[in-house]
């Protein structure tokens, strides 16, 4: 198993039984996308989406500062930005995706489980 980067996140998510694929955006940024992610908490609980996570080359030492959400219709759109609470903009992955800004702080012990816990928290706190 690769220790760093997109292969690390991909393999960790596969080990946790997610269906995943690699994506690259218009600017060449790497992502690992969960193709069938079911939201577990909050007002969108039970909603199925695609969830793309930007992956720095040194993941899990650092993590991207966003998630990219694909749903039809969009769960939240650019007009749903609230200053100081959430920032939602168009994604470089295409028109069907939205970038949701969020800063992740990962534990060294189990970074991908920690990342997914924080992503669940985003949906819980909408």
Give the pLDDT confidence of 1-34 residue by residue, as tens digits.
458 999 999 999 999 999 999 999 999 999 999 9
Give the pLDDT confidence of 52-74 residue by residue, as tens digits.
999 999 999 999 999 999 999 99
Query: The pTM is what?
Result: 0.92
Predicted confidence (pLDDT) at residue 82 exceeds the cutoff of 90: no
> In sequence order, what are the beta bridge partners of 19?
none
Calpha distance 35→76 (Å, rounded): 18
**Cα 20 off chain centre by:** 12
Per-domain residue ranges for the chain? 5-124
Mean pLDDT, the chain, rounded, equals: 93
Task: Write down the pLDDT at residue 2.
Answer: 57
């Amino acid at each position: 198993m690769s220790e760093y980067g997109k292969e690390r996140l991909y393999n960790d998510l596969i080990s946790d039984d997610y269906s995943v694929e690699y994506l690259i955006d218009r600017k060449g940024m790497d992502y690992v996308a969960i193709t069938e992610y079911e939201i577990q908490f909050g007002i969108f609980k039970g909603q199925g989406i695609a969830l793309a996570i930007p992956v720095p080359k040194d993941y899990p030492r650092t993590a991207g500062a966003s998630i990219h959400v694909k749903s039809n219709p969009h769960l939240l759109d650019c007009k749903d930005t609230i200053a100081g609470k959430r920032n939602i903009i168009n994604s470089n992955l295409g028109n069907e995706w939205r970038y949701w800004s969020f800063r992740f702080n990962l534990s060294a012990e189990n970074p991908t489980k920690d990342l997914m816990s924080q992503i669940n928290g985003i949906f819980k706190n909408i």
